[in-house]
Amino acid sequence: MNSPSDDIDATSATRLRQVRERIAQAARAAGRDASAVSLLAVSKTFDADAVAAMARCGQREFGENYVQEGVAKVDALRSRWPDLCWHFIGPLQSNKTRDVARCFDWVHGIDRLSVARRLAAQRPGERDGKALAPLQVCLQVNISDEPSKSGVAARDLPELAHEVAGLQGLRLRGLMCIPAPAHTLQAQREPFARLRELQQALVAQGLPLDTLSMGMSADLEAAVLEGATIVRVGSALFGERSRRRPDA
């Protein structure tokens, strides 16, 4: 008879295989190598056991949205799974940067210089006695130009990118976006293509950016077709989220 944890592992393995297959198919259609797209498993609202089940299936990159919940999971899992890579992908307020700088390996949602400066200053030089790499960061662009949405406006991106690229303690890797929902493949591709063009313009200005963090459960194919190097997938891996947990 199967134990409950065997069942979780079987479900996790099936979903992981399905998502990897979606990525592989889109990569084939784009003439890209699927290994150029990394899968970030977005575990927000799911507990440490759900993350451990995915880790047992071989998944290594995990994304969290809420500081308190994310830090608790990282701290709970770090000793048993020291090789997991943790990405903070949620909105980040200035008063919560210290925990993120300490616990996470990547931050995707930077859209203000003040937050970048705090993260840079607060990034520890070592963790558990070992030298710690700079925090890997992406700038979030408000690609659909929606009022009151997170992200730097495209016209303000170059200035922010050059400033952040100069901060010690951070390494600017690329751009991230969350477009307004769209329901055809073509409409989904347009904002992702714009993000790629913005990145190419920055590369042409001398910034060595290699990361496009774009695409979620509903639109990862469109993102891979437009050059995503990280897709951030939650519900297709962990199931529907029952609630949006407030970040107390």
Ligand X SMILES: *Cc1c(COP(=O)(O)O)cnc(C)c1O
Smallest gap from Cβ 120 to ligand X, in A, equals 22
Residue 89 near ligand X by CB under 6 A: yes
Span from 5-13, 22-30, 95-103, 216-224 in contact with ligand X (CB under 6 A): 216-224
- Phi and psi at residue 54, to the nearest 5°: -65, -35
234 makes contact with ligand X (CB under 6 A): yes
Contacts of 239 (CB under 8 A, 6+ apart): 15
- Residue 184 Cβ, how far from ligand X at the closest point, in Å? 17
Tokens of 46: 């799911």
Provide the minimum distance between the beta carbon of 135 and ligand X in the complex, in angstroms, as a whole number. 17
- Output 44 or 118, the one with its CB closest to ligand X: 44
Q: Report if residue 230 touches ligand X, rule: CB under 6 A.
A: no
- The answer to the question of residue 216 lying near ligand X (CB under 6 A) is yes
Picking from 141, 223, 143, 221, the residue whose alpha carbon sits closest to that of residue 175 is: 141
Among 233, 239, 242, 244, binds ligand X (CB under 6 A): 233
**Nearest residue relative to ligand X (C-beta):** 234
Q: Does 18 bind ligand X (CB under 6 A)?
A: no
Spatial separation of the C-alpha atoms in residues 62 and 70, rounded to whole Å: 10
CB of 129 to ligand X, least distance (A): 32
Task: Give the C-alpha separation, 121 to 123, whole Å.
Answer: 6
42 binds ligand X (CB under 6 A): yes
- Binding region for ligand X (CB under 6 A) out of 19-27, 113-121, 186-194, 215-223: 215-223
Sequence-ordered strand ranges (E) for the chain: 38-42, 61-64, 85-88, 106-110, 126-127, 130-131, 135-140, 170-176, 211-213, 230-233
Instruction: Please state the closest distance from residue 44 (CB atom) to ligand X, in A.
Output: 6
Residue 98 CB, nearest approach to ligand X (Å): 21
Nearest to 100 by CA among 63, 152, 149, 59: 63
Given a contact cutoff of 8 angstroms between Cβ atoms, the answer to whether 143 and 194 are in contact is: yes
Among 65, 97, 136, 199, binds ligand X (CB under 6 A): 65
Residue 219, amino acid:
D
Residue 44 in the binding site for ligand X (CB under 6 A) = yes
What phi, psi does 84 have (nearest 5°)? -75, 145
123 sits near ligand X (criterion: CB under 6 A): no
Q: Give 118 or 232: the residue with its C-beta nearer to ligand X.
A: 232
Rounded alpha-carbon distances, angstroms, from residue 70 to 28, 41, 44, 96, 231: 34, 13, 8, 12, 19
CA angle 146, 150, 156 (to 5 degrees): 80
Q: Which is nearer to ligand X, 65 or 136 (CB)?
A: 65
Amino acid present at 108: H
Site of interaction with ligand X (CB under 6 A): 42, 44, 65, 89, 178, 216-218, 232-236
